[in-house]
A and B are shown apart, each in its own frame.
Chain A
Amino acid sequence: AQSVTQLGSHVSVSEGALVLLRCNYSSSVPPYLFWYVQYPNQGLQLLLKYTSAATLVKGINGFEAEFKKSETSFHLTKPSAHMSDAAEYFCAVTKGGGGNKLTFGTGTQLKVEL
């Protein structure tokens, strides 16, 4: 069964520092992978998606993620953190079995400090 693991439920970085949020997936078929962001009291917004066209995927707000099949990883990065990046981030993988269902990771709360 397809699954994702997000290492680190809380990550804290200084403003201007590199952001690295980790996601490892398990899938028996070539996966579609997504990163979503959730700001307080809001729904999830799509940051970026991997669809096999390119291994380095660029998303909104300066975020990008690299698909590494050998490591079964899809880590999210941003070169320079901004205060407005503070939010919860979810990695998700297509679940299979029809319905375009997703399996979500448990989320990583990103804190950005001055």
Chain B
Amino acid sequence: NAGVTQTPKFRILKIGQSMTLQCTQDMNHNYMYWYRQDPGMGLKLIYYSVGAGITDKGEVPNGYNVSRSTTEDFPLRLELAAPSQTSVYFCASSYSIQGLVSSNQPQHFGDGTRLSIL
């Protein structure tokens, strides 16, 4: 059971380049999330999705874009990489009944993508 799979694990980008961080899950979860983790800051939510075709902004969406064409996949796109986007990026998924404000279902995390922008 693979769970949440993120690729690549490491990447170095030059300023201004673009790239897509891939995330796929095999648990048939309807909710998916992208976070960034910076030292001493915890995790900050970038974007999330409550189902295929539905995405919404989190706390720190600037400079990023997402799409959700299937239940399994939730790629994160950086269009013009900036040094401030150097971080560790985590994808997560969870199951929840649609329409609930909150749920006791935990989020399941991938192993992260370590991104450096120079």
Which of these, A51, A99, A102, A106, contacts B41 with CB under 8 Å? A106
B2 to chain A, nearest CB (A): 13
**Residue pair B4, A100 in contact (C-beta under 8 Å):** no
Q: Are B42 and A107 in contact (CB under 8 A)?
A: yes
How long is the Cα–Cα vector from A29 to B102 in the complex, in angstroms? 10
Chain B min CB distance to A100 (Å): 4
Contact of B101 among A96, A102, A107 (CB under 8 A): A96
B42, A51: Cβ atoms closer than 8 Å: no
List the B side residues contacting A104 at CB < 8 Å: 42-43
Number of interface residues of A (CB under 8 A): 27
Residues of B within 8 A of A (CB): 4, 31, 33, 40-43, 45, 48, 50, 56, 58, 90, 92, 94, 96, 99-112
* Chain B residues with CB under 8 A of A75: none
Q: How far is the CB of B29 from chain A (nearest CB, A)?
A: 10
Residue of B nearest to A53 (CB): B104
Chain A interface residues (CB < 8 Å from chain B) = 9, 29, 32, 34, 36, 41-46, 49, 51, 90, 94-102, 104-107
In the assembled complex, how far is the CB of residue A50 from the closest CB belonging to chain B, in whole angstroms? 8
Residues on B with C-beta less than 8 A from A97 are: 101
Closest to B50 in A: A99
Contacts of B42 in A (CB 8 A): 90, 104-107
Task: Give the CA-CA distance A49 to B106 in the complex, in Å.
Answer: 8
Q: In the assembled complex, which residues on chain B have CB atoms less than 8 Å from the CB atom of A49?
A: 104, 106
Asked if B104 contacts A106 (CB within 8 A), the reply is: no
